[in-house]
Amino acid sequence: MRPPIMRRVFRRVASTAVSAMLALLAAQPVSASAAPTATAAAGLQQVTGFGSNPGGLQMFAYTPATVPAGAPLVVALHGCTQSAGAYHSSSGWAQYADLWGFDVVYPQTTSANNPLSCFGWFDPAEDTRGRGEAASVVQMVEYAKRTYGSDGRRVYVTGLSAGGGMTADLLAAYPDVFAGGSVASGLPAQCATSQAAASGCQTGPQALSPSQWGDKVRGSHPGWTGPWPRVAIWQGTSDYTVRPANATALRDQWTDVWGIGQTPSRTDSLPGNTARAVYEDASGRPAVETYTVSGMGHGLPVDLGSGAGQCGATAAYFLDTICSTYHTGVFWGLDRDAPGGGDGLPAPSGLKVTGVTASSASLAWDTVGGAASYAVYRDGAKVASATSPSFTDTGLRAGTSYRYTVAAADSSGAAGASSPAVTATTPGGTAPAACFTATNYAHVAAGRARTSGGRVQANGSGQDMGLYNVFVTHTLRESPAGYFVIADSGCQAGSS
């Protein structure tokens, strides 16, 4: 039996101004003094004695009875004023833990650490390697590996807002612990190193180059040269609490760490007015993905419903748009839909799109020896079991991109490794363009453009817009969602 959690020997007291700033990061309000219990959400249990706990955190865990040893582990970090129970209830991680088979750990901070129960993503005493809250989270991971038999090669961390900022710091400080991460409405790693600097990060991080952002990661664990975590970045275009420029900085930071540049390998459209950009590593596997939710404010994207790709519950700062948990899990390979994932038969090769209509997509691939059938996945969800190496998917939406993978199944129906993904885009159904006229500074703040070396580039097209200031003005045309081009000479069928 390990010793009980030690109480913190001091309480950080924030000024009124800093408290107001932190309130902007607050997610679903709960009583800051309310003690969490094991009944906060079904199946959620508090764990004590997980380590020396230098950060004074509380540990909660969801461990489905059907999950065997050797399963992945997800660490999920709440936002300010939230609790582990609130995040467990609304984020959708418990649903996919049951469906896909993994354990979830929910670290929880308290008002003893911060007046609004925010994780200390801006405090070097809390968010750096071997110190404070970051070290406590890693002790929880070690406890899960010992107690639940979690696979140390498949540990992932995700977080919302202040929890997202801490997620980025954990990925930077502990790339040897976390195989991947997901930052929702969060901040780039080591954006701020004091409470005073935190507000500036929220409203718009420093105009650093990708290599300067990448250096903040490399400096968090000097001497580490890889492998690096695979990172998903979620951001609403109408988030005025943590501005969209932070998502651009996160993208610049992690693509630079991976050494893959800032031009996406491919882009596509997802439900909920979401644009996805995929940045692949040298082997063709997604290393960084950005998910830009048009019109969404500050919060974690969820999607009410019973479909395979739907999850969560709406509440303050849990916003009904798209199930970010589902797509993050697919990106990490938790659903076995990832190149090289799965067991048994090898992945089919040669998957290609052979034709599309406004409502269908036809696929073909090479035969796999020993395969009795083939499982076809659309955006991570199985849609068919084909008996031959071809399939036509019907009932699709016009003007929409879909991602497909295929896995060979044996006579028992057990599917093996999944193929690399291909994207099919149905014609028609083009949404009208939206036009925005603003200064370069305002375009960056709104998430329509990004900074690079003191200059501004349009998101999507990468067109150069000139200096990053309030004196240069451009009109940007958005079509499809998240893809902007300069349209100073006129923009038709737009708005704004």
Establish whether 419 is a catalytic residue: no
Distance, CA of 397 to CA of 74 (rounded, Å)? 33
Give the 3-state secondary structure percentages of the chain, helix then strand then coil, rounded to 5.
Answer: 20, 30, 50
Task: Tell me whether the omega of the peptide bond preceding residue 175 falls within 30 degrees of 0, making it cis.
Answer: no
Please pick, among 90, 161, 324, 419, the residue that the annotation labels catalytic: 161
The answer to whether 168 and 181 are in contact (CB under 8 A) is yes
Distance, CA of 342 to CA of 5 (rounded, Å)? 39
Q: With the C-alpha atoms ordered 87, 123, 254, 482, is the resulting torsion angle positive or negative?
A: positive
Distance, CA of 316 to CA of 86 (rounded, Å)? 10
Neighbours of 411 (CB within 10 A): 9
Distance, CA of 405 to CA of 270 (rounded, Å)? 16
Ranges of beta strands (E only) in 309-430 are 318-320, 352-356, 360-364, 373-378, 381-386, 390-394, 401-409, 415-418, 422-425
Phi and psi of 413, rounded to 5°?
Answer: 90, 0
* Residues near 130 by beta carbon (within 8 Å), at least 6 away in sequence: none
Active site (catalytic) residues: 161
